[in-house]
Structure 1
Amino acid sequence: MPRSIRPFHPSDLGAIYRICLLTGLAGGDSSHLYRNPELLGHVYAGPYPVADPSATFVVADDEGVAGYIVATADTAGFERWREESWWPVLREQFPPRDDPQDGTEDHVLVERVHERWPTDAPVLERFPAHMHIDLLPRAQGEGLGRALVETLAASLRERGVPGLHLGVSKENPGAIAFYHRVGFVTLEELPWGYLLGLPLA
């Protein structure tokens, strides 16, 4: 099945949300963890193509969108925008809630919505951009993840961005190995995972 990488189109947003959910458990399906299937996308995918659509690319085939890379060239500016324009509506719609003790994790994402989680300034001096990437199983193992990263990196270089960073969970060793293969280096080990950086200059 032929697949291609192309820039984001607004019609892709629903697919991006769906893929975010289907890959949200260390690369596997997280649907069973959330009563509201949109929450994960609200936190980790949706704001990026809204704030900086030119930094989002998708993998498309005749079944639809099979993967994406979402990013922002300016993390500090993105975080200000998210605080002013993205979170307020969601905070009103999803007030804080207790753990229902039923195995679901909506309350964890709602807590994230209500938190402020700025990126440390020293990271942003060298790696001001950041990204998230997800591929459905049908698009894995074909080099499309590397191609998405390279496509984004080329776009960011054209914009004069010196570096790109991301965070990855220790529970996802496959993703860690992938990022190292495509050129990311470990910047910092954190309690939950690793901060990785890709120099672009």
Structure 2
Amino acid sequence: MSIDIRPFQPFDLPGMYRVCLLTGDSGGDATALYHDPDLLGHVFAGPYPAADPGLTFVAADAQGVVGYVVATADSTAYEKWREDHWYAPLRLRHPESMADDPGDGSRDWQRVAQLHRTPLTDGGPLYESHPAHLHIDILPRGQGAGLGRRLMAAVLEALRARGVRGLHLGVGAGNPGARAFYLALGFTEAERHDWGSVMVTNPGSALRTGPDPAP
């Protein structure tokens, strides 16, 4: 089955939200963990094409969106934009009273807490040397055939065209496949935390060749 990669179009957003949910549990299906299926997308997918147009790419086949990569060239500016233009109106829909754990195993409250309690950060040396960041998600039917590498190549080329000197991303400790994917592409681990790792690369560097582990 042919899978095309193209720049984001507004009609892609529902498909991206679905992919985000179906990969939202450390790469697995998070549908059963959310009462509101849009909350994950509101945090990890939706704001990027609005905040930094030209750095979101979508992979689509005959069934619809199968994967995507979202990025920003300037994480500090992105966080300020997200606070003022994305999180602020979403708080009206999701009040902070919903940010308490209901004890039923759902995770909506965690995402609502992000809407209300994510501070603007001083990225320090990391943001200075690697100001861009990204998220990539691919459904199982698109994994293992080089699609992740193709999406990464598209966004890295766009970052190179903007003269971005460095890129960082977070990888959760519960997703070793993602870590293997980035290492295979040539990323290095810059920081290690209890929750996982921060990995970095230079968009000007060529992607390593070889097998494409599933992200």
TM-score strictly above 0.5: yes
Query: Which AA in structure 2 matches 1:83?
Result: E
- Matched with 1:112 is 114
Check if 1:137 corresponds to 2:117.
Answer: no
Contact preservation (8 Å) 2:131, 2:164: yes
- Matched with 2:23 is 23
- In 2, the alpha carbon distance for the partners of 1:126 and 1:6 equals 28
Spell out, residue by residue over 1:104-159, the C-alpha distance to the aligned partner (whole angstroms, 9 max, x if none): 11111111111124252211111111000000111101101011111111110011
Query: Which AA in structure 1 matches 2:110?
Result: V
Contact preservation (8 Å) 2:52, 2:72: yes
User: Which one of 163, 174, 177 corresponds to residue 180 of structure 2?
Assistant: 177
- In 2, the alpha carbon distance for the partners of 1:106 and 1:68 equals 23
- In 2, the alpha carbon distance for the partners of 1:13 and 1:36 equals 16
Query: For residues 119 and 28 of structure 1, do their structure 2 counterparts lie closer, same or farther at Cα, with a shift above 3 Å needed?
Result: farther
Which segments of 5 or more consecutive residues in structure 1 lack a partner in the other structure? none
- In 1, the alpha carbon distance for the partners of 2:166 and 2:49 equals 19
Query: Which AA in structure 2 matches 1:38?
Result: D
How far does residue 23 in structure 1 lie from its aligned partner after superposition? Answer: 0.2
- In 2, the alpha carbon distance for the partners of 1:198 and 1:4 equals 25
- Matched with 2:152 is 149
- Matched with 2:35 is 35
SS at match of 1:53: coil
Contact preservation (8 Å) 2:76, 2:123: no
Query: Which AA in structure 2 matches 1:2?
Result: S
Contact preservation (8 Å) 2:56, 2:69: yes
Spell out, residue by residue over 1:60-114, the C-alpha distance to the aligned partner (whole angstroms, 9 max, x if none): 1111111000001111111110111111111121112221111111111111111
CA-atom RMSD in angstroms: 1.0
Query: Which AA in structure 2 matches 1:115?
Result: R
Moved over 4 A (4+): none
TM-score (norm 2): 0.91
Give % identity.
52
Query: Which AA in structure 1 matches 2:155?
Result: L
